[in-house]
Amino acid sequence: MAMTWREDLRFYVLAGFLAITFLLGGGARADVQSLFFLRPAAALVVGYACLSLTREHVRQYRFAFVMLGSLAALLLVQLVPLPGSVWGALPGRDIVSRVDDVAGLGSVWRPLSLVPGATINALFSLLVPAAVLLLGVQLKREQQYRLLPVVLGILLMSGLWGLLQVIGDPNGPLYLYRVTNNGSSVGLFSNRNHQAIALATLFPILSVFASSGGSSQERAGFWFWLSLAFGAATIPLVLVTGSRSGLLVSLVGLSSVALIFRPGGESGHGKRKTSSFDPRFLMIAFVILCLGAITIIMSRAEAFKRLATGDQLDDLRFQVWGPIADIGWKYFPFGSGAGSFPEVYQLDELTRLLGPNFLNHAHNDYLEVFVTAGLPGLLLVLVALFAWARAAITAFSRGTIAGRERSYVRAGLTIIAIFALGSLGDYPLRTPSLACLFVVALLWSRVWAEYTPKISGGQG
């Protein structure tokens, strides 16, 4: 079915917004100056998307909208002023109540959040991924497929940019953010872990790309070899980031290739009648092993070196997880307020853990949700994980989904899994660009859509 010019315009607006987000939204800090331009642009895209949003769009993706609305409602509730007597009775507020008493302030109305400004910032941060969701749900399925080369090009550019950073000046102009991992490959991000996690998503994306060879065997072979070249180049790019967590989630991405890649592309050329095993997987594994070995020998595999020798800052992160969990129980069940982690951690920071490094996040997003959002936040996380597991059981069952649809659904689910695992040691979804990539993965996987089994692919 031919697309109307309005449908084409929505696709190009979304593709352009994704490119802008990766250029301006690679940092998770609230004081990143590029957010001054990115968030108004997101607000404009939200407004544009709302002009054509229909009940059918919301109905089809109602679970996604319920989750987004629940998250926004939770942040708004944390900003509602409460009477002093009610606020003072909340867990973890006793120290502020004592200060009020000493200062003679009496009963002061305050919101549940201990740092309201940070919670307001968290609320506004939802604008960027919400823009992708509101516009993405209006795309035809074929247009959602067409987002893959857009994302692929952006991620490859980030990898190449990171390589130039490593071979260039550690304090040079190629680093886009003031607070960053100078000397490491961070690409379009400020954090090497986020660069590595983004590169890890290339493996499932390239698996789909290699499967979209078209109607001829020659064209299918071309896409396969091109994807293999890109995938092989991604291995050293991940290693030079120096991210240990990125290295581990990359293994998840690599493992997904056998589940996503369809030999012969859409037309089925190259499929063997006698066996479902394709010998090209052996070639892929051999190339990956060779490139990894060469990178290690050349002493540029910072991730392997840090995995073997340890890192003082990362070791500190592991040490603070126990105290952070104790802080979470202090504010349970309501939490301390979204974005308040740095301040509430400093209130209870252990003397033995004091040092020159500033802990801006828990470096375990599940723990940080526990501290700042309490029981409601944990329930939202559990619901999201349950939705992923339910969709994964359907998508990875034999014969449930056929054709190109299967590749996209499985790739989307793998990308979500990479983010979920990456959140165990970092905070990737707090970065605007990766939050948008997460939403694109949701669109591909149909996790939060009204999913219908046995989809043949290419349907709107």
Q: Is the separation of the CB atoms in 91 and 334 below 8 Å? A: yes
SS3 82: strand
> What is the predicted pLDDT for the residue at 230?
83
Instruction: Give phi and psi for 216, each to the nearest 5.
Output: -110, 155
> What is the predicted pLDDT for the residue at 36?
94
ω into residue 333 within 30 of 0, thus cis? yes
End-to-end CA distance of the chain: 10
Residue 296 pLDDT more than 80? no
C-alpha 460: how far from chain center: 25
SS3 123: helix
H or E stretch at 111: strand 110-111
Lowest mean pLDDT among 111-115, 291-295, 316-320, 326-330: 291-295
Q: What is the band of 458 on the pLDDT scale with cuts at 50, 70, 90?
A: very low
SS3 390: helix
User: Which tens digits make up the pLDDT trace of 240-267?
Assistant: 887 888 888 988 998 898 889 877 555 4
User: Which tens digits make up the pLDDT trace of 7-44?
Assistant: 899 999 999 999 999 999 999 899 999 999 999 999 99
Q: Is the separation of the CB atoms in 199 and 237 below 8 Å? A: yes
Structure tokens at 233: 């180049």
Residue 428 pLDDT more than 50? yes
Residue 157 pLDDT more than 60? yes
d(CA 209, CA 213): 8
CA-nearest of 95, 91, 108, 106 to 337 is: 91
* Pairing verdict, β 81-82 and 110-111: antiparallel
Residues 6+ positions from 274 with CB-CB distance below 8 Å: none
User: Which tens digits make up the pLDDT trace of 313-352?
Assistant: 556 777 889 999 999 999 999 999 999 999 999 988 887 7
- 110 beta partners: 82
Residues 6+ positions from 293 with CB-CB distance below 8 Å: none
Structure tokens at 245: 């967590």
Q: What is the band of 305 on the pLDDT scale with cuts at 50, 70, 90?
A: low
Does this model's pTM top 0.75? My answer is yes
